[in-house]
Amino acid sequence: MIHLLITSIFSFTMSTYNMPKLPYANDALEPVISQATINYHYGKHLQTYVNNLNALVPGTPFEGKAIEEIVATAPDGPLFNNAGQVLNHTLYFLQFTPTPKQNEPSGKLASAIARDFGNFENFKNEMTQAASSLFGSGWVWLAMDKDGKLVIVKEANGSNPIRKGMKPLLGFDVWEHAYYLDYQNRRVDHLANLWKIIDWQIVESRM
């Protein structure tokens, strides 16, 4: 269930949502993602979304609800926008590792990618193309639909496939604040380097 998936990685008590704890040091993903970008993207942007969410939830029907329930069911507006970005960034930052044990997925994730995309290289190319061609700000996700099929989903702004009843497995943030300090306008270079730091065991665990 999606509820169990997300509550296992996101911490909240009653209606207080907390920053996810990074499983690596702020400089550990260099040179793919610099310490300056982590300090700015994680330390400032995500913290602002968490603060906003904690200010918006009290007194609403979503008080005390897990964040995935808010993202799945809240109407469009500030509460949904901030909840979506907290969920998105939590999944994003926790999918990376400075010491990947493998360069591509194995096990059931590899089998599903081969079934639905032909092979890993085809999937990688399709995911990169989707992320490089998304206009403006947003996210691109590898997600699993209700039938267990893997699909690539483009989401504008702070939305998430969970809103469509899917499980988000792997997400690329293409808001400029995710890469501008390190790559300026070279989004494609940023995307090419992200593949070097993905923890495929974490991605598979989200299936």
Residue span of the structural domain in which 79 resides = 2-20+34-94
Report the CATH number that the domain containing residue 57 is assigned in CATH: 1.10.287.990
Residue 173 sits at φ, ψ, to 5 deg, of -85, 120
Does 28 fall in a domain?
no
Helix, coil or strand: residue 145: coil
Torsion of CA 192, 197, 198, 202, to 10 degrees: -170
In tens digits, the chain (207 residues) has pLDDT values of 344 344 445 555 555 899 999 999 999 999 999 999 999 999 999 999 999 999 999 999 999 999 999 999 999 999 999 999 999 999 999 999 999 998 999 999 999 999 999 999 999 999 999 999 999 899 999 999 999 999 999 999 999 999 999 999 999 999 999 999 999 999 999 999 999 999 999 999 999
Q: Are residues 185 and 157 in the same domain?
A: yes
Regarding whether 122 and 74 lie in a shared domain, the answer is: no
For residue 119, give the CATH number of its domain.
Answer: 3.55.40.20
Question: Which of 94, 118, 140 finishes a domain?
Answer: 94
Residue-wise DSSP of 2-66: HHHHHHTT--EETTEE-PPPPSS-TTTTTTTS-HHHHHHIIIIIIHHHHHHHHHHSTTSTTTT--
CB 155 within 8 A of CB 135: no
Domains of the chain: total: 2
127 in a domain, yes or no?
Answer: yes
Same-domain check for residues 133 and 56: no
